[in-house]
């Protein structure tokens, strides 16, 4: 790690060069500077569950405080994903990290009939006008988006531009609470890591469909449209906990 006090070119504030680990005093979730928001854009993901499609990772400062997985089982905080997320979040993404304006240009340049994934780590931008700018740049393309935010009116505005946003819950019970408050939302939820893929229900009786990419051979986000458009009967999509901390999440769910 280089802790030189020299100021890198084209940076609005100084940050140390951190690749694998962030210094203890640096909290990427609480950075107040809008121009720190960075994104990693890949034209074809190599992740087997996502499949060969464009994918975007957002820096940690986009994550809302309502996400219960922050520091408590988030898969992107550990393992291979953390290497890339730490670099993008610390401002040390090099030539691969892009600003929000650059991301908008990249999205506009995508083929019109393509499916792409936003937020392999991170969340939607914190400012409402930026989320609507994303929707406008998307121009009706089929996008797969998840958020731990609760800005329901904003998501409705985005939906009018065919920008479909899934609201993430941290348990089936919380999925019920979201749909009680906003019945028109598309909701997804985390499930225990050993959840079977049969018929599941929330405590209120709502149907849960387990993500087929988690158990079916040859299925990925690139070949499935379950999360890229409104679902019939308001079906909730369930994602079994995965990653190095999956058992931590499963224990938390069992205690609820």
Measure the CA–CA gap between 249 and 247, rounded to whole angstroms: 5
Is the CB of residue 122 less than 8 Å from the CB of residue 57? yes
Query: Which of the pair, 22 or 44, is modelled with greater confidence?
Result: 44
pLDDT, position 65? 81
Query: Which of the pair, 245 or 132, is modelled with greater confidence?
Result: 132
pLDDT, position 23? 40
* Contact partners, residue 17, CB within 8 Å, separation at least 6: 1, 2, 4, 90, 92
Query: Which of the pair, 213 or 131, is modelled with greater confidence?
Result: 131
pLDDT in tens, 221-236: 999 999 999 987 889 9
Is the CB of residue 21 less than 8 Å from the CB of residue 101? no
Is the CB of residue 6 less than 8 Å from the CB of residue 82? no
pLDDT, position 157? 98
Query: Which of the pair, 126 or 10, is modelled with greater confidence?
Result: 126
Adjacency order of strands within the sheet including 115-118: 97-98, 39-42, 55-58, 115-118, 142-147, 166-169, 186-191, 236-240, 207-210, 200-201
Per the prediction, the chain carries an average pLDDT of 81
Range from 91-95, 116-120, 240-244 that averages highest in pLDDT: 116-120
pLDDT, position 255? 67
**Positive or negative, the Cα torsion across 213, 131, 165, 150?**
positive
Structure pTM? 0.80
pLDDT in tens, 168-182: 999 999 999 999 999
Of residues 110, 80, 100, the one with CA closest to residue 36: 100
């Amino acid at each position: 790690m280089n802790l030189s006090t020299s100021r890198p070119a084209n940076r609005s504030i100084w940050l140390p060069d951190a690749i694998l680990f962030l210094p203890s005093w640096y909290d990427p979730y609480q950075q107040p500077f809008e121009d720190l928001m960075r994104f990693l854009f890949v034209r074809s993901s190599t992740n087997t569950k996502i499949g060969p499609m464009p994918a975007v990772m957002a820096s940690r400062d986009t994550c809302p405080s309502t996400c219960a997985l922050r520091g408590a089982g988030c898969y992107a905080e550990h393992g291979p994903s953390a290497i890339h997320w730490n670099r993008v979040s610390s401002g040390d993404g090099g030539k691969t990290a892009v600003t929000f304006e650059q991301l908008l240009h990249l999205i506009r340049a995508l083929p019109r009939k393509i499916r792409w994934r936003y937020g392999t780590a991170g969340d939607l931008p914190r400012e409402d006008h930026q989320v609507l700018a994303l929707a406008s740049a998307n121009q009706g393309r089929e996008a797969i988006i998840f958020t731990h935010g609760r800005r329901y009116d904003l998501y409705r505005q985005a939906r009018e531009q065919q920008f479909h946003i899934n609201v993430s819950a941290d348990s089936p019970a919380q999925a019920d609470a979201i749909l009680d408050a906003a019945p028109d939302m598309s909701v997804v939820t985390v499930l225990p890591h050993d959840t079977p893929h049969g018929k599941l229900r929330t405590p209120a009786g709502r149907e849960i469909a387990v993500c087929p990419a988690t158990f079916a051979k040859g299925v990925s986000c690139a070949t499935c449209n379950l999360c890229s458009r409104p679902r019939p009967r308001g079906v909730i999509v369930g994602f079994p906990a995965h990653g190095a901390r999956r058992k931590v999440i499963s224990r938390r769910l069992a205690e609820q």
